[in-house]
A = this chain, B = another copy of it.
């Protein structure tokens, strides 16, 4: 059956849930003039080393046109560097630069504190349950509506 009201629907609840969590982190990011998405790009590059733009898009859940803009501002602020691959002139290699790493390290304690408070209020077990459910949800809906890539077939 359809969700009767607007409040108990998957899209709305996921939106509100995300907002509830992000509202904790937003002030920290704002103080350092970094957007949510810029921060995700920095973290991905810090975690997974140099990557091409497509990989960053997928890992940070950012669309390519957005990433193009983000790259521009992060390079201007010297948080990342860009280079081209020798064997493929189309691809761009993104790497985190020292100021970028420094920012991540600087914010680490505050991130920790915020995450701890969220966990304390919601409960560590429920966080795990929620993450498991979300992962299952994502996988359950994978590769529908899209032209279906090769991997999804019956491998």
Interface of A with B (CB < 8 Å)?
Answer: 2-3, 5-8, 10-25, 27, 36, 40, 43-44, 47, 59-61, 108, 111-112, 115, 117-118, 121-123, 126-127, 129-131, 133-138, 140-142, 144-145
Question: Is the pair A134, B14 in contact by a Cβ cutoff of 8 Å?
Answer: yes
A7 CA / B131 CA spacing, docked (Å): 10
A sample of 14 cross-chain residue pairs with beta-carbon separation below 8 angstroms, ordered by A number, consists of A2-B115, A10-B21, A11-B21, A11-B22, A12-B40, A12-B61, A15-B18, A15-B61, A19-B61, A20-B137, A20-B138, A20-B142, A21-B141, A117-B144
Chain B residues near A133 (CB-CB < 8 A): 126, 129-130, 133
Which residues from B are CB-within-8-Å of A138?
A: 13, 16-17, 20
How many copies of this protein are present in the complex?
2
Measured between alpha carbons, how far is A141 from B119 in the docked complex, in Å?
10
Q: How distant is the Cα of A126 from the Cα of B123 in the complex, in angstroms?
A: 19
